[in-house]
Structure 1
Amino acid sequence: MKAIISVIGVDQIGIIAEVSSLLAANKVNILDINQTVLDEYFTMTMLVDLEKLETPLEELKKELSNKGEKMGLSIKLQHEDIFRSMHRI
Structure 2
Amino acid sequence: MKAIMTVTGIDHTGIIAAVANACAAQNANITNVSQTLMGSYFTMIMQLELDDAPTSLTNLQETMTEVEHSQNLEIRVQSEAIFNVMHTL
TM over 0.5: yes
Larger CA deviation: 59-68 vs 43-52: 59-68
In structure 2, the partner of 1:24 is 24
Q: Secondary structure at the match of 1:70?
A: helix
Residue aligning to 2:11? 11
2:84 alignment partner in structure 1: 84
Following TM superposition, the consecutive aligned residue runs of length 4 or more in structure 1 with deviations greater than 6 angstroms are none
Query: TM-score, structure 1 length as denominator?
Result: 0.93
Q: Percent identity?
A: 39
**SS of equivalent residue, structure 1 residue 78:** strand
TM-score by length of 2: 0.93
Question: 1:2 aligned to 2:6?
Answer: no
User: Which ranges in structure 1 are unaligned for 5 or more consecutive residues?
Assistant: none
CA drift at 1:88:
1.8
Which 5+ residue runs of structure 2 have no aligned equivalent? none
- Aligned pair count reads 89
